[in-house]
Structure 1
């Protein structure tokens, strides 16, 4: 039988990608660039992040200017939680934390351990076994806590779906506070208090906090209430930053504000474990781009405000440290509220320490993996000890253990990835028909197959469900899933509900288990679901691009302006630019299958393409999509590009118009960080615009009409008023994508 699997990279000259370039909005771009004194490329990037007004941009670029609401006003059960904790501590009763084995869960556990011990609590912790028990608090842990005389259990990064264990704790007379950030189940556990951002307003700046964010809010609020704030906030904020970035939480709202601060603290961390981890991983802090930019302006602009926003903001910066954070000899003033508690940890902008900062990538690709590796294949206690010890010797020992375990994790991932690729490319699967890839093999490590799933998505551009057998009997399959923008992993698992044992997740990722005898049915059901939401054109890795740039524009001034957008990460991605007709003058393989390139188009610039060895050599002239990076070697810094996409040169100019007689016209675009496709049809004498979302719902609007149709088919569609802002702005984005 002929192999219908898509061509492997070794059979292709170029990555099999689809490029989605945000539509240009020149008028708004010009206004933002002029008012904020930023590059049009940065202005266009802001617009792509749904930041299109001067006020929105100023708040985004200066998150310190936003006054946060008090958490006690946002989280209904926070006051109950604080009362429970205050009573338990004052009565010297035992508190136990039930954590989780991922980076979010481990940093949450360490954060609360540090805080509660500092505040005088008798506290211990437990984390379930990843291999034997799986995620979340369970009956065994509840029983052991009760036998140890625990009066109050606090879950971190878990518990919201643990109805039975929480109910059992209540039966045993143990108080329970759930702190979690996962999706809300139909039936809430009977805890005394539940802190979960999914239970608060969708517009709240706290809505996107991860488990470590909820733990941070609880700890800081308790410290403020007890009047024991001195010296506590900075180390907690460092742990918040580690956990938030490593958990891929959105870097918006309160996360953006606090992570921006935490990244400044980390290079001169007060925590022995963080110092040791930075030392072992070889991370180096970089000067903040904003400060570099200010210093580079010269004396002619001396005295102007930060970020060039006009003299009315002159002198604004991070508020100075209040006396109680400058040293114990200067008093122990108590902050009046959560806002002041948080602000008291802000670095003095005049301090030399404030000139160095880590980037989210330093955590996401260097520190985070070393923490996560332990939770995946070893004992989480190593990380808890690393992040709670004040002994530098112990910290270095634990950091070295993390390093060794991470190397083992890398080796496991490499082996499993190669085995998975070999299976895929020798199989008879036709992804154009299946539209989803299900790979199950014996002997793989449960803890790392999720990483391999992500790599297979990058390689083949389809949703991937990867699993292995739990026991030698091969009766139960346990696995992980990773999706693509148009495919909702959790909805797919729900679609297979009757075939599964345990499962959970969200839009982009999930975990599951099922009886091995259901494997074929599981594969068939997933394919059925995929056909409902995926078209053939979606079956390629997606490269989302912000704007076109000339190579001459890629200088340190632009790079420093990109720093204004930091911290970048989930829901605030690093800007991705593209350039056309770039000549590759030199290319070679470096490291483990990476390509190092010298590019020329008016200027010469270096580039790196990670894990692209299979595409070597690339054609001599290409269009490229990339991120900008600073590369420092032997004390010299240069701008280089990190290639994300490459294609043969396109002859169509960026300002070309599609012929109005050529129907249907089609385009892909993003709106509010969600992918859409749009088409313009000619129906008789009338044009009809159709906009389709990733769920298969279509908004159809005919020219000159105020009422449109919304639904999966015309038969079940409902009428909607397209002048409503949510539809009107979506339609404008679609028309822009179609160049109308």
Structure 2
């Protein structure tokens, strides 16, 4: 796929920044490149200590929520937590449930079933809670949009506290003017509310739950260190909910990772063992691509309560059994996802869909919980906004994933007459509609779009061009100050032009790793590792230099192959020997 490469070019005196904050000029440039420019943000970025967390009491309605909970704990009124079935929802329930228990509350929990109940609190859950004698409903990672549901709970005489982090719902008049709406809940804790004065509104649902507990523990005279113990769980939710790893989120994840690597939670330890990570330093990668998906798999293919029970385990054997079950569920989910991705690619390649600027793909047999993952994979492959729909009980249901240039939520608003339900934000959305409206929706989305061919070309942004001879162990170790990496704090990428490649080798048990020997301007040899499509790499070389040069490359003979690379420098340790290697992201 053709790509456009850009170099970030911020006009800042990096030397001055470097001296002021005591970091190298390279690090100061990389921090500024991430739009971290305000004095306090830079200080918190370089030293993200727990003491720098914002004051929880500044969040709208949080004191009101704490006072209600204190009264309910004192009177032993029955509290039921209602969560969500993804990682953020499960962790939010864990934080609230264990903490309220510690305060002596009469509390239990409910997590909706993804297929049967759908997202968020619903009337059936409220009706059942009322029958069970529940006095107070406490939502987490949901509830901000549950206007009618909360009205129903209030009619039944229940107390309702909402904790959420999703966008505030609104109604729009014919002139496109929006009025934001809120429910009749007794307290609504969500930093995205316009009236909320909290300093950072991009925390996840578990982050909001943690803030509530921080304040509750303070009111209940429980040491603040007890709330800090929850940060390892907030870190998992923060990474898995793909919120920006800046400001308070960076504090959660940086400190949480240190705790996770020494965790005493039996469920988490069992999951680390079951995924063969017991001898590894757990990083954001492991949270986002190993631990998170296993917890998520229970909510996708079974009940999210299984993932919660793992974290609540008090016996090693029970934790081991649950961890093994989650790993097995996740393996099943991976196989089903791969099958779905292959079907989606086949549909794109064999139909007129491939000419669309917005892909709407209907695969009746795909498990509806996997639609979003498959949409994400197709979006990555083609760099086109993608919605995957599957057969549901009453029509079709699905999820979409977008590109920066296309606000998927806004575009769906323009087609709302074809949809039964929809929600989301610029980069992702969920929707349901009647089957007879699928083709109409595809047609309308593509007719409405003003996406240009130019905007559909993938863009790769490089932090700076870097001479390979400047790379050394000190520089690579220096980069560690930027970790943890994730959304909003991406791993730095460097570019080098016209690099002489003297040898290529295919490695890995599945022959899926390409190792390259690269020659620097000063004649040093440095290793490069590429995990992408090796066939495509070979075809690129053949098209430019011919078959013979590719053979020379594999034979390590003198050749004329020169390539531009985008990479991240790292240190590879193997059998006690360490050497510098470049993790190659892109080439041309």
- State the match for 1:20 in structure 2: 6
The reply to whether residue 64 of structure 1 matches residue 58 of structure 2 is no
TM-fit CA distance, 1:46: 1.6
Any stretches of 5+ residues in structure 1 without a counterpart? Answer: 1-14, 287-356, 648-740
**1:196 paired residue among 187, 190, 211:** 190
Cα offset for 1:86?
A: 0.7
Task: Tell me the residue number matched to 2:518.
Answer: 600
Judge which range, 29-38 or 389-398, deviates more.
Answer: 29-38
2:574 to 612, 621, 633: 633
Q: 2:70 aligns with which of 55, 63, 86?
A: 86
Q: CA deviation at 1:18?
A: 2.3
Partner of residue 178, structure 2: none
- Please, which of 288, 300, 310 is the counterpart of residue 364 of structure 1? 288
In structure 2, which of residues 211, 214, 218 is the aligned counterpart of residue 220 of structure 1? Answer: 214
Equivalent residue, structure 2, for 1:544: 461
Q: Could you tell me how far apart the structure 1 residues matched to 2:404 and 2:506 are?
A: 33
Shift of 1:82: 0.7
Aligned to 1:440: 362
In the other structure, the counterpart of 2:148 is 164
Q: Which residue of 2 aligns with 1:149?
A: 133
SS of the residue 1:268 aligns to:
coil
Report what 2:427 is aligned to.
508
What does 1:24-103 align with in structure 2 at a 5 Å threshold? 25=11, 28-36=13-21, 38-52=23-37, 57-64=42-49, 67-72=52-57, 74-103=58-87
In 1, the alpha carbon distance for the partners of 2:15 and 2:81 equals 52
Give the superposition deviation at 1:583: 3.3
Unaligned runs of 5+ in 2: 171-180, 542-560
Contact 1:478 1:512 in 2 (8 A): yes
Question: Within 2, Cα distance between the matches of 1:163 and 1:215?
Answer: 20
Larger mean CA deviation between 379-388 and 563-572 belongs to 563-572
Match of 1:299 in 2: none
When structure 1 is superposed on structure 2, of 228-237 and 490-499 the one drifting more is 228-237
- Residue 573 of structure 1 is matched in structure 2 by 490
Separation in 2, partners of 1:202, 1:80? 13
How far residue 497 of structure 1 moved from its aligned partner, in angstroms, is 0.9
CA distance in 2, matches of 1:225, 1:54: 32
Distance between the aligned counterparts of 2:201 and 2:246, measured in 1? 9
Aligned to 1:410: 334
Are positions 1:644 and 2:563 aligned together? Answer: no
Deviations 1:183-240 (A, max 9, x none): 1012211100000010157884431111000111111211111012376334411111
Whole-Å separation in 2 of the counterparts to 1:181 and 1:371 = 20
Deviation at 1:517?
Answer: 0.7
Q: CA deviation at 1:378?
A: 1.9
Taking a change above 3 Å as real, the CA distance of residues 634 and 174 of structure 1, as seen in their structure-2 partners, is farther
Separation in structure 2 between the aligned mates of residue 202 and residue 565 of structure 1, nearest angstrom: 30
Give the CA deviation at 1:411. 0.6
CA displacement at 1:390 relative to structure 2: 2.4
Note if contact 1:453-1:464 (Cα within 8 Å) is conserved in structure 2. Answer: yes
Q: Post-superposition shift, 1:285? A: 7.3
**Would the aligned equivalents of 2:59 and 2:198 in 1 still touch at CA under 8 Å?**
no
> Do the aligned residues in 2 keep the contact of 1:457 with 1:541 (CA within 8 Å)?
no
Whole-Å Cα distance in 2 between the matches of residues 442 and 607 of structure 1?
Answer: 42
What's the offset of the Cα at 1:375? 1.6
Kindly indicate whether the alpha-carbon contact (under 8 Å) linking 1:577 and 1:627 is maintained by their aligned counterparts in 2.
yes
2:444 maps to 525
Verify the 8 A CA contact 1:200 1:207 in the aligned structure 2: no
The answer as to whether partners of 2:80 and 2:107 remain within 8 angstroms in 1 is yes
Q: Determine the C-alpha separation between the residues in 2 that align with 1:183 and 1:230.
A: 30
Residue 283 (str. 1) matches residue 277 (str. 2): yes
Pairwise CA RMSD: 2.3
- 1:660-712 Cα offsets, whole Å, 9 max, x none, are xxxxxxxxxxxxxxxxxxxxxxxxxxxxxxxxxxxxxxxxxxxxxxxxxxxxx
What SS does the corresponding residue of 2:112 show, helix, strand or coil? coil
CA deviation map 1:268-305 (0-9, x unaligned):
1121111112222233677xxxxxxxxxxxxxxxxxxx
Task: Give the counterpart of 1:470 among 392, 412, 415.
Answer: 392
Contact 2:218 2:224 in 1 (8 A): no
The verdict on how the C-alpha distance between 1:64 and 1:268 changes in structure 2, with shifts beyond 3 A counting, is closer
Shift of 1:613: 3.8
1:224 and 1:262, CA in 2 relative to 1: closer, same or farther beyond 3 A?
Answer: same
Q: CA deviation at 1:487?
A: 0.7
CA contact (8 A) 1:462 1:540 kept: no
Name the CA shift for 1:71/1:58 in 2 (closer, same or farther; >3 Å). Answer: closer
Distance change (3 Å), C-alpha of 1:476 and 1:605: farther
The Cα of 1:24 is off from its aligned counterpart by: 5.5
Going from structure 1 to structure 2, the CA distance change for 1:232 and 1:389 (only over 3 Å counts) comes to farther
Give the aligned partner of residue 561 of structure 1.
Answer: 478
- Work out the CA distance in 1 between the residues paired with 2:404 and 2:30: 20
Contact 1:251 1:569 in 2 (8 A): yes
SS in 2 for 1:137: coil
Cα distance in 1, alignment partners of residues 99 and 39 from structure 2: 40
Question: Could you tell me which residue of structure 1 aligns to residue 505 of structure 2?
Answer: 587
The CA deviation string for residues 16-63 of structure 1, in whole angstroms up to 9 with x for no partner, is 3222321264x6233334555544432322221223477653342123
Three-state SS of the structure 2 residue aligned to 1:568 is coil
Aligned pairs, number:
554
State which of 381, 391, 400 in structure 2 corresponds to 1:481: 400
Q: Quick one: structure 1 residues 440 and 615, their matched pair in 2 at CA, closer, same or farther if it must change by over 3 Å?
A: same
Question: What SS does the aligned partner of 2:261 have?
Answer: helix
Q: 2:563 aligns with which of 622, 625, 649?
A: 622
Aligned to 1:669: none
Structure 1 55/388 Cα, relative in aligned 2: closer, same or farther at 3 Å? Answer: closer
2:417 corresponds to which residue? 498
SS at match of 2:368: coil
Relative distance call for 1:134 and 1:583 in structure 2 (3 A) is: farther
CA-to-partner distance for each residue in 1:117-162, whole Å, 9 max, x for gaps? Answer: 1111111111111112210000110011111111111111001111
| Secondary structure at 1:485 match in 2 | coil
CA distance in 1, matches of 2:224, 2:10: 49
State the TM-score, normalized to the length of structure 2.
0.89
**Aligned-residue offset at 1:248:** 0.6
Contact between 1:176 and 1:193, CA under 8 Å: does it hold in 2? yes
1:581 is displaced (CA, Å) by 1.6
Contact 2:113–2:299 at 8 Å: present in 1 too?
no
1:108 and 1:399 map into 2 onto residues whose CA distance is 19
Task: Report what 1:211 is aligned to.
Answer: 205
Distance 1:621 1:33 in 2: 35
